Structure 1
Amino acid sequence: MDSKFHAFMFPWFAFGHMIPFLHLANKLAEKGHRVTFLLPKKAQKQVEHHNLFPDSIVFHPLTVPHVNGLPPGAETTSDISISEDNLLSEALDLTRGQVEAAVRALRPDLIFFDFAHWIPELAKEHMIKSVSYMIVSATVIARLHDPGAPVEVPPPGYPSSKVLFRGNDAHALVIRSIFYERLYHQLATGFKSCDVIALRTCNEIEGKFCDFISRQYQKKVLLTGPMLPEPDTSKPLEEHWSHFLSGFPPGSVVFCALGSQIVLEKDQFQELCLGMELTGLPFLVAVKPPRGSSTIQESLPEGFEERVKGRGVVSGGWVQQPLILSHPSVGCFVNHCGPGAIWECLMTDCQMVLIPFLSDQVLFTRLLTEEFEVSVEVFREKTGWFSKESLRDAIKSVMDKESDLGKLVRSNHAKLKEILVSPGLFAGYVDNFVEGLTDLISVQKHD
């Protein structure tokens, strides 16, 4: 039997999902497997530079059907506000006919999916295997359940008390939105129906959660490891950022980035800028312009640019995040606790300050701050917003090498980094993952 397989990949229509799926596709292609990658038409141009094996990874563009209420031409979450995610989810479901036609024509061995809960049913009809691949942390997956079904009580030793939402987490109420209720139901359906669950994590950080998920769904759980992209050595850090950062002592600069989907309100954006200013430290902020603004400059606090000239920069454009994090002058990373950002930071010496915005980010934040104690969370007011003072205090606490909290976080981060950078660890996860998929397919072929 030929041990090389052909995989379909069908991620949620968000770059924060498509790009990690493509990182996994690169690892599979590197091992000699073929991948057909299903995605919205316009998105192909924006992700194809991540395709390191264009001969083995073929893009299959989908036409995103129009749904009432969805802005004309919207194809990914970057084209809409978070409140319209449920409409894009409906549009994704309406591509089922196109996906099925591609499966029928190209006959893959297995198909990876995340939000499209109907994929396992389609896969069974065509005698192929389905893999529910989750890029969010296992901590979050262990908390998901079908809202209509009873919740299984976690077993002894499961650290539930430290990763639950706190009562005054106003921002955590986002999980009660239409999209999140619908999403939780879809994910639980996908987990129950798929052939295997795959998670972008490793046992060293989330082993107990992975074991719990396996028992909860009575499914094999395969781990890919963090799936970090290969560093692009052909493109050094852009000259203006390299010049700016190199003007400061090692470990002194605060870098802030909040991911591709977080768009702040103008007052919260200004509070972020003022909090950075209050630290007295050099800083680089890379966030999208706030809601209602077309540029960063028009929304900056009055007199801000003059006051921080020479030590602080706020950019609204894309930046080379991994290269900035690995720059010797950067000592602190303020972020939204997206899994990719966390993995990147854990592999560096940067200290972490977390401002979670969505429910999955809140849970992952609690794991890192309270279980592993490798980060500090920014305190939020009862309104759900953070103040410039709470941001300043969180940053200062990890940047002060003499404070008890700073010492604790630095020590724990260094120990965890040492484990994660051990030679062969991540390559071993990829080898075991591919072996697990090959076994899954061989069972299908012998049935």
Structure 2
Amino acid sequence: MAQPKDLKFHIAMFPWFAFGHMTPFLHLSNELAKRGHKISFLLPNKACLQWKTTNLHPNLITFYPLTIPRVGSLPRGTETASDIPIFLTTHLATAMDLTRDQVEALLCQLKPNFVFYDTAHWIPELAPMIGFKTVCYNAVCAASLAIAVVPARKVFKDRPLTEAELAEPPHGYPSTTVVLRKHEARALSFISFDFGSGITFYDRVTTSMKECDAISIRTCHEIEGQLCDYIGSQFGKPVLLTGPVLLESEKTPLEDRWAKWLGGFEPNLVVFCAFGSQWVLEKDQFQELVLGLELTGLPFLVAVKPPTGAATVEEALPEGFQERVKGRGVVYGEWVQQTHLLNHPSVGCFVNHCGFGSMWESLTSDSQIVLVPHLGDQILNTRLMADELKVAVEVERDENGWFSKESLCKAVKSTMDKDSEVGVLVRKNHGKWKQTLTSPGFMSGYIDEFIHKLHEL
């Protein structure tokens, strides 16, 4: 029976416990609540407090805290992926699975129409008994789902993909530019590693997509349409796109310390560098990064975690570095307001890891884009940005994935130099995509169509 178009849904959100996943789930929640839909958001205790200012509709979005059990070698108090080094995330996945009883009890009490999830592959098992539809909402690019997950499920059912197989696009893959280098294929091999007790990352993600009522991806047809169609054909599921779903406004302004510091520079001059909440550099690579930014001669702000073996970023800096860059260079080891910083008129270049959130934020900013990917999906995002859309420059690396201060400096200078052929090209292409993505009605149109598709489910 067809549902009336003005029917308001009750949707439960249960994302993977990482900021790069919880953030887009919350942005989508804000968009749905803006249209009158009720959201019950299940997330770790500490995250409830951290996300308070980002909940733009507290009358319709309710946070339900989960107690995260301590598992294996997880440090006491661990609740999200940003609390731990990346090699411990398999234990966090086990901890997430152990919240199943809490989640089930809440869903029985709430009785939502839909549950949106990503890596909690067991959510569809609860659906028949409680009575809800399931949407596997992917906060990563369609390219990563298509090149790593789909072919593994379809072609290599009894073994993980080898590095050589990962280095070539699968049969039928609708892109000719995604050819991976050796160290990049190695980065994608994580899909065969354990991600929780008794399950690999590959099995977790493919089960999540195979058992849901609909697959959803935080992307748009204009950029990844063919890949989304490919995924739908491989899984035999409807694929619903939400568009980029970026936060429109926050209650808090840019911190005064950064507003004052950036205010001392001319427009489009400062290089801002951030690598997300999970990537921790080795000390020598960290030093190469900051030395490369020093080499550009431009003012810069680096916001990265302290490197391996260091308690603070300051203790890991090269000798004499702080004296040499005083007044024009800042290295900061804690979280910053990335979106606010990108929107500041003094920022002219964004050096980043090309996580999916950073990818969309950079595309809708005016900053030039320089990419240093690390994890599998970041590499595929980079291929999209640098090779297909030609809106960014990737830092050159050797076969082991190492980048030098000279290669980083070269990439930044190539985008910032107004007479650079590369800089002119990426600036022109970036401008076109920004105009498309920020055009009136573009993002809201995707959300409205997405809700229409939910009605059809």
Contact 2:111 2:131 in 1 (8 A): no
Partner Cα separation in structure 1 for residue 27 and residue 46 of structure 2: 19
Whether the 8 Å CA contact 1:369–1:377 is kept in 2: the answer is: yes
Within 1, Cα distance between the matches of 2:313 and 2:399?
27
- Does residue 231 (structure 1) correspond to residue 249 (structure 2)? The answer is yes
Match of 1:313 among 318, 323, 330: 330
Q: Could you say which residue in structure 1 is the equivalent of 2:240?
A: 222
Q: Distance in 2 between matches of 1:387 and 1:326?
A: 28
Q: Which residue of 1 aligns with 2:38?
A: 34
Cross-structure match for 2:178:
163
User: Which AA in structure 1 matches 2:122?
Assistant: W
Query: What residue number does 2:150 align with?
Result: 145
CA contact (8 A) 1:171 1:358 kept: no
Q: 2:440 aligns with which of 402, 417, 423?
A: 423
Offset of residue 217 of structure 1: 1.0
Supply the distance in 1 between the matched residues of 2:171 and 2:187 (Cα, whole angstroms): 25
Gaps of 5+ in 2: 158-168
Give the AA of the match of 2:150.
H
TM-score normalised to structure 2 length: 0.91
Which residue of the partner structure matches residue 162 of structure 2? none
Q: Cα deviations across residues 127-163 of structure 1 (Å, max 9, x unaligned)?
A: 210000011111111121374641698676711x422
Q: 1:203 aligns with which of 203, 214, 221?
A: 221
- Superposed counterparts of 1:12-411, under 5 Å: 12-143=16-147, 144-145=149-150, 147=152, 149-150=154-155, 158-159=174-175, 161-169=176-184, 172=187, 175=190, 178-179=193-194, 182-232=200-250, 234-411=251-428
The letter for the 2-side match of 1:289 is P
Once the two structures are superposed, residues 326-355 of structure 1 have per-residue CA deviations (whole angstroms, 9 ceiling, x without a partner) of 222211100000111111111122111001
Structure 1 CA distance for aligned equivalents of residues 32 and 188 of structure 2: 38
Q: 2:98, 2:319 → 1: CA distance?
A: 47
Matched residue type, 1:214: G
2: distance between equivalents of 1:45 and 1:306? Answer: 38
Structure 1 contact 245–329 (Cα < 8 Å) conserved: yes
Residues 314-335 of structure 1 deviation map (CA, whole Å, 9 limit, x = unaligned): 1122222122112222111000
- Whole-Å Cα distance in 1 between the matches of residues 402 and 49 of structure 2? 36
Q: Amino acid of the residue matched to residue 76 of structure 1?
A: T
Q: Structure 1 pair 87/26, CA: closer, same or farther in 2 (3 Å)? A: same
Q: Tell me by how many angstroms 1:48 deviates.
A: 2.1
Task: Note the aligned Cα RMSD (angstroms).
Answer: 2.0
Q: Distance in 2 between matches of 1:154 and 1:34?
A: 40
Asked if the contact 2:154–2:234 (Cα under 8 Å) also holds between the matched residues in 1, the reply is no
Deviation of the 1:72 alpha carbon: 2.5
8 Å CA contact 1:145, 1:184 repeated in 2: no
Larger mean Cα displacement after TM superposition, 253-262 or 57-66: 57-66
| Per-residue deviation, 1:92 | 1.1
> Could you tell me how far 1:282 is from its partner in structure 2?
1.1
**Cα separation, 2, equivalents of 1:330 and 1:135:** 26
Q: Which amino acid aligns with 2:242?
A: T
Are the equivalent residues in 2 in contact too, given 1:146–1:188 (CA < 8 A)? Answer: no
* Matched residue type, 1:111: V
C-alpha distance in 2 between matches for 1:98 and 1:56:
22
SS of alignment partner, residue 314 of structure 1: strand
Identity of aligned residues (%): 55
Which segments of 5 or more consecutive residues in structure 1 lack a partner in the other structure? 441-447
Matched positions, count: 438
